[in-house]
Structure 1
Amino acid sequence: MKTHKIIIFTTLLLTITTVYGQTYEPLDLAKKICSKVTLPNIENYVAGEYEGKPNGKDLPDGSITKFTLLGQTDKTAVVGMTVLDSIGKGFDTYLHFEKDKSWKMTAFRGLAMTGLIEQIKIELENMTPQQVDEIIEKSKKNKNDDFEMFKSREDYNFQLGNTRLTLELDENIINHFLTNQAEFDRLKNLALIELEKEKVDEDRSLELIETSKPEFNKLFISSVATGGYELGNCINFLIGGMLDNSVGYFYIKDKKDLPEMNPNRIIMIREIANGWYIYKTT
């Protein structure tokens, strides 16, 4: 009789698993959804705005995918997916998950509005030294504050490096930080000293170490600030982006103050080292 009950229970369990599908942790589920092999009953693993597309079937042939768990709580998780071609070129995306009874993917995100930045990067890359000098010379004669792409060789170098870094893979953005970590730490310490004399408004961003702009521009950082509703009391080293779609680094003293990731604002945060993180917003 006991054996008969076990057989019935096992059969019932197998039936439920077949109908409703297995349960997966976010990292495993991300790999399943973005596999070239269609995930059976994919509708059981998606919710919210994400309806199963894009998925692994939409990736270019020969693509290599790498997955990183960026964060997981009892109810939410974010997995980073890097998609590379055969020569190592690619892009980063961020898969957002929520848990009710089981984990489901709810949003697919990436840094948006990069087309114009790409165009500017290509234009800057294709300029000859003579063309750069001509634009600089023209800017010196500009008496009406008309728009100029750049006004000095340093400005040109900053804009070219900044657009390149904005569009880089996360791994390369992290490597740029690690290569220059001593200088980032020096500038961060200057910002912390300045903060001791300033009152921070939680609703408004406060620009920091503006007198050090030539120095952080050499790191391809657009601005250094703190405050505001996005990153709170983090020290924000903004690289760039378009409108609310931005990428940068931030420093935070205490992990308990770490901002939360969500698909509608801060789409990714990834720890680098010693209180430093890379982030992206949308």
Structure 2
Amino acid sequence: MKYFLLALCLWLPRAVGAFAPLEPLQIAEQFVAPTGWPDMKDYLCCEAAGQAKRETLGQQIPGRLRRTCQLLEQGPSTAVVAVELRDPAERRDFYLHFAKEGETWKLRAIRNLAMTHLGPPMVDLLAAMPRAEIAQYDLKHPEASHAFTLGNLKLWTSSDADIAAHFRKNRADFRKVLRLVQAGQYFAADSAGEQAANADPAVHALLRKLYLGRVRRRETGCASCLEFVIGGKVTSTVGFLYQPEATQLPAMTPDHLIVLKPLGEGWYLYKTT
């Protein structure tokens, strides 16, 4: 009998673990794996359940892509996992949003930055311009030169890893433009400050140097944050958010702020949809 009890005690933890509900990161890793997942439907809800009826995301994307999952946030009822798909030629980023139903986490929505497919053809067109055409372009577009537009488009369509690398490489200039905006107190009173901030010659010059479209507020739903926008189409935008107080950060949602990735010193990479 004692040997039976000992075996039972050794088996129970493994048996309980086998039936324990999966955490968001575990669900994400199963969902983007190249192999199938028989239990997929038990962990999907809402629009995700309608999008992945027969195959996981991992089965729908090319098998050559390397998949990396990163838990960005997990609270009592919601969670967000970032997924990077990579091969030697490209990187792509998706964001999986989860909700908790009872004791079970379920994937509710899959998001990425929309309309980035419009960028590469424009980049190719600008990059192929001969010098004479570039000179004409700069004359016609004094507020957004050829060099700035090309750099801005490349940054807009870059992977999260490359955008983060751009921030690290230019951290000193990001600090400088932040100090200028804060010193000018452009956003202390009303919305008119946005126009004044972007018209400031020193601020404008640094924004152009960093390939940033403009500085603004409230795009992410955060009245106390500063948003240094790279660009985007309609309401699907990407940029850098500054908010040194973590308690004042806006919440990530599949309906608007789809991702918020920390870059250090109160800076974040953000995307909206």
CA contact (8 A) 1:191 1:209 kept: no
CA RMSD of aligned residues (A): 2.8
2:194 alignment counterpart: 206
2:33 alignment counterpart: 35
Structure 1 residue 239 and structure 2 residue 230: aligned? yes
2:24 alignment counterpart: 26
1:182 alignment counterpart: 172
2:120 alignment counterpart: 118
SS of the residue aligned with 1:50?
A: helix
How many residues are matched? Answer: 260
Following the alignment from structure 1 to structure 2, what is the Cα–Cα distance between the partners of residues 127 and 196?
38
SS of the residue aligned with 2:107?
A: strand
2:264 is aligned with what amino acid?
Answer: A
CA distance 1:227–1:17, shift in 2 (3 Å):
closer
Following the alignment from structure 1 to structure 2, what is the Cα–Cα distance between the partners of residues 79 and 70?
6
The TM-score with structure 2 as length reference comes to: 0.85
C-alpha deviation, 1:229, in angstroms: 6.2
Structure-to-structure mapping, 1:91-170, within 5 angstroms: 91-100=92-101, 101-136=103-138, 139=140, 150-151=141-142, 155-170=145-160
The TM-score with structure 1 as length reference comes to: 0.83
SS of the residue aligned with 2:217?
A: strand
C-alpha deviation, 1:105, in angstroms: 0.5
2:47 paired residue among 36, 46, 49: 49
What 5-or-longer segments of structure 1 have no aligned partner? 140-149
CA distance 1:197–1:173, shift in 2 (3 Å):
closer
Q: Deviations over 1:77-127 (max 9, x none)?
A: 111111012x14121110111112211101011000112222211211121
2:65 alignment counterpart: 63
Counting aligned pairs with the same residue, the percent is 27
Runs of 4+ in 1 over 4 A off after TM superposition: none
Q: Bigger CA drift: 69-78 or 126-135? A: 126-135
What 5-or-longer segments of structure 2 have no aligned partner? none
2:251 alignment counterpart: 260
Q: Bigger CA drift: 207-216 or 30-39? A: 207-216
Following the alignment from structure 1 to structure 2, what is the Cα–Cα distance between the partners of residues 50 and 260?
20
C-alpha deviation, 1:270, in angstroms: 0.4
1:277 alignment counterpart: 268
1:254 is aligned with what amino acid?
Answer: E
